[in-house]
Amino acid sequence: MRNFMKLFKSLLVAPASLGLLAPLTATANEVTINDFNPAEEIAVTNSRVDGLEARLNDVEAGSFSETTTASFGSTFYVGSVDAGVDLGVTTFTYDFGIDLNTSFTGEDSLDVAIIGGNADGDVTSGAVDNYMGGDGTGDVLTLDGIAYTFPVGGITVTAGDGVGVDDLNVGACAYSAFTDLLGDCGTSNVGGQADSAVAASYDFGNGFTVAAGIGGGGFSDVVTTEDLTVADITSADILNLVELNGTGVDAVLRAATNGTAVGAEEEFAGAVAGATTGETVNVGPLAATTTTGGDPLGFISDQDPSTVGLELAYTADTFGVSFAYTDDDAAGTEATYYSFQAAYTPDAPYSVSAGMEYDDDDNSSYFVGVTTEAGVGSLSAGLSTQALASDHADNLQYELSYSYPVNDGMTITPGAFIAESAADDEFGVVVTTSFSF
């Protein structure tokens, strides 16, 4: 290596030497060989090389701020569900995400989230995506959220678009979920439906934390329900209006405006289940949603439906508990939820998590799950109610999955789930492959 560097320096000195010797032959009376100093020329050449390296480093460092980082991730979903839209057909979908982060003071953070994919999770995408909860943007990249987080004394504050009132909640869920439903340990209404918020949290330093937030971004009018008579609706219109879960006369229709389950007569459910895109069907009375104004919903103003959230949590070495209160008007209806989470994390290769949630109408949901090390990966098994209800008959969902890290940036997770239904239980098998880079 040392001989190579000597050769490299010699090659650099050669042009300079030739440049000096050229005028020597032309005007020998002006320059003599005694005026040539090799050591001096080498020093000048080294100085020029160092200057060039410094300029290259300045260009590279100036391309991005030194505090700016970018992370990328993608998930492939391959599987099938034996009911619903796909009717057992194996499907492939994906999503993709970019997270950009930068800091201006070393204590703050500006975060930008960009997503893309076709894992829409709606009626046109297929039953697998309905359960897995991936991102769907029609195969284009779109801004999913932008937030600025900063300290104020000992309080951490975050604000922005795509921020939930629960973004700074600690929670107490240690379960590694497979399906989207079990991802929040049975407390899916924590944070409500606000998609723009300001949230703050404070850590007392002894295991106790408190977090709160207020946000909006929901309906500007009150959503009410009334009976409508709709005739000669094409199935393409139906697909845009409702989400169809199940088939036949037992189908459940959900209004796309707020995701609230609404009833439908048997002839309407049967017509929708048998319709194909572009086909015209004649339907009977439909329980649908319309909007009217005038009722006060907003925390800030009557025309600004809002969501308010509060969380108290305690985290110790081997367990954690949390309680969250959510007053959610952003969906267009007044609703209040009380959510509890607990996790037992002993010094062992397993953890146990549980959750419960209630509303003011005495409806409830619950969850329990276990995650344990198994070989080189982890095994998770859990069950949860599918929705808040007073009666949980035909309302449970079970899942089992095994997560295997292939390397530092790739994880494969095969899993299976069963969702109870009054008509016919749905069974699904999915393999996800997650990449991070």
Give the pLDDT means over successive 10-residue stretches in the chain (437 positions): 44 44 43 60 70 61 73 97 78 96 96 94 68 92 96 96 95 96 94 91 97 76 38 44 37 35 42 44 41 44 78 97 92 86 96 97 96 97 96 95 97 97 91 97
- Taking the domains of the chain in order of start, what are their residue ranges? 2-63, 69-220+295-436, 222-292
Q: What DSSP state is assigned to residue 264?
A: B
**DSSP per position, 401-414:** EEEEEEETTEEEEE
What's the CATH superfamily of 69-220+295-436?
Porin (2.40.160.10)
The CA radius of gyration of the chain, in Å to the nearest whole number, is: 31
Give me the amino acid identity at 378. Answer: S
End-to-end, the C-alpha distance of the chain in Å comes to 34
- Phi and psi, residue 9, nearest 5°: -65, -35
Query: What is the per-residue pLDDT for 77?
Result: 97
Closest CA to 145 of 110, 172, 187: 110
User: What pLDDT, on the 0 to 100 scale, is given for residue 194?
Assistant: 86
Identity at 247, one-letter amino acid code? T
DSSP code, position 332: S
- Give, as one character, the DSSP assignment of residue 33: G
Report the length, in residues, of the chain: 437
Beta strand spans in 128-284 (E): 142-152, 155-161, 196-203, 208-216, 222-229, 233-234, 242-245, 252-255, 261-262, 280-281
E runs forming strands in 279-349: 280-281, 285-292, 298-301, 304-305, 307-315, 319-328, 335-344
Q: Which two tokens stand for residue 137?
A: 């943007």
Residue 1 structure tokens = 């290596």
Cα angle 85, 86, 87 (rounded to 5 degrees) comes to 95
Strands (E), 82-221: 91-102, 109-117, 142-152, 155-161, 196-203, 208-216
Cβ within 8 Å of residue 375, ≥6 positions away: none
Angle at the Cα of 357 from the Cα atoms of 359 and 395, rounded to 5 degrees: 95
C-alpha dist (Å) from residue 191 to 158, 339, 370, 375? 14, 10, 24, 36
Q: Quote the CA–CA distance of 28 and 286 in Å, as a whole number.
A: 106
Residue 54 phi, psi (nearest 5): -65, -40
pTM comes to 0.69
Task: For CA atoms 400, 405, 410, 412, give the dihedral sign.
Answer: negative
Distance CA 432, CA 282 (A): 40
Say if residues 323 and 212 touch (Cβ distance below 8 Å): no
Spatial contact of 341 and 321, defined as CB atoms under 8 Å apart = yes
- Position 397: which residue type? Q
pLDDT attached to residue 160? 95
